């Protein structure tokens, strides 16, 4: 089985499409002169129109994806100086335009192979990323492959050392002051699903025609119980209905913002 080093970046300094390739389980590549050519219908001996417009490094990289990669091969992902991931090829070349992996120019990268990417991978820096930087797809030398595997194993072991255990049960005793839910529910029922600060309408923005848009709003109290003593009287005008963003901003300050202060910030 072959081992490949592959980059998913648009040019040398452009956008990285590695996150999309990881999400869709593919390795993808594209060069404009042959972006509409299904390479499964061609060969090295009889390439498609536009092939002669490609640079030598581009021809080599695209040929590896179309005619060399096979099921069981390994791909190491190059991201700058780092190896950012690896996966196992699960099939041969496919020409697909449906799953929209687009670059910043809006072009779809249609030349692909299916890959099962490792979900728990620890990135690491490696000299193989500096070798032949103009080649999108490169087949490392045997000694480089052996070193890649050792480095990946070392990075994984180091990562495990820094992990911690969580989830141990413990007891915590606390005293709470009870809020009366009836006034909150009454306020929500009277609402039209509109944030009282930024006036964003959930029904319009997210098309929640069949959902209870009132439940998307969060309740903020003008008079926090923590700042009061004893039992207090609350009216329907006290709770404020906010979208999650505005509610987070209110509490981002040591002293919670008033509704007027929040609205001022939204307008600015």
Confidence of residue 2 (pLDDT cuts 50, 70, 90): very high
The DSSP-derived string for 128-141 is GGTSSTT-SEE---
**Are 61 and 29 in contact, with CB atoms under 8 Å apart?**
yes
Q: How many CB atoms lie within 10 A of CB 177?
A: 11
CB half-sphere exposure, 220, CA atoms < 13 A: 22
pLDDT over 70 at 212, yes or no: no
Q: What percent of the chain has pLDDT over 90?
A: 36
**How many whole angstroms separate alpha carbon 50 and alpha carbon 32?**
9
In this prediction, residue 165 carries a pLDDT of: 59
pLDDT over 70 at 158, yes or no: yes
In this prediction, residue 211 carries a pLDDT of: 56
Q: Tell me the two tokens of residue 221.
A: 């109290």
Confidence of residue 74 (pLDDT cuts 50, 70, 90): very high
181-194: buried (b, 16+ CB within 10 Å) or exposed (e) per residue? eebbeebbeeeebb
Of the listed ranges 64-73, 86-95, 147-156, the least confidently predicted one is 147-156
CATH code of domain 3-158? 3.10.590.10
Q: Tell me the two tokens of residue 262.
A: 């929040």
The reply to whether the predicted model has a pTM over 0.75 is no
3-state class (DSSP) for residue 255: coil
Confidence of residue 139 (pLDDT cuts 50, 70, 90): very high
Q: Give CA 194 to chain center in angstroms.
A: 29
pLDDT over 70 at 191, yes or no: yes
- Can you give the residue ranges of every domain in the chain? 3-158, 181-267
H or E segment at 26? strand 26-29
**How many whole angstroms separate alpha carbon 151 and alpha carbon 143?**
12
pLDDT over 80 at 12, yes or no: no
């Amino acid at each position: 089985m072959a081992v490949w080093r592959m980059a998913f970046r648009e040019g040398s300094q452009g956008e990285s499409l590695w996150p999309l390739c990881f999400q869709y389980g593919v390795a993808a590549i594209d060069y404009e002169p042959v972006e509409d050519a299904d390479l499964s219908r061609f060969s090295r001996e009889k390439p498609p129109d536009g092939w002669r417009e490609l640079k030598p490094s581009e021809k080599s990289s695209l040929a590896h994806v179309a005619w060399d990669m096979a099921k069981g091969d390994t791909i190491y992902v190059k991201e700058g100086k780092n190896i950012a991931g690896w996966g196992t090829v699960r099939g041969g070349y496919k020409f697909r335009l449906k799953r929209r992996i687009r670059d910043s120019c809006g072009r779809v990268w249609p030349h692909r192979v299916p890959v099962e990417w490792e979900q728990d991978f620890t990135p690491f820096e490696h000299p193989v990323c500096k070798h032949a930087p103009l080649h999108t797809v490169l087949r490392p030398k045997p000694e480089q492959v052996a070193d890649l595997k050792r480095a990946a194993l070392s990075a994984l072991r180091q990562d495990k050392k820094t992990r911690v255990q969580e989830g141990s049960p413990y007891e915590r005793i606390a005293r709470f002051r009870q809020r009366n839910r009836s006034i909150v529910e009454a306020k929500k029922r009277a609402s039209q699903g509109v944030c009282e600060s930024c006036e964003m309408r959930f029904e319009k923005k997210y098309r929640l025609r069949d959902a209870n848009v009132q439940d998307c709003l969060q309740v903020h109290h003008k008079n926090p119980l923590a700042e009061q003593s004893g039992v207090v009287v609350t009216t329907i005008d006290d709770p404020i209905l906010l979208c999650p963003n505005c509610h987070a901003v209110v509490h981002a300050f040591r002293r919670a913002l008033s509704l007027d202060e929040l609205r001022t910030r939204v307008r600015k």
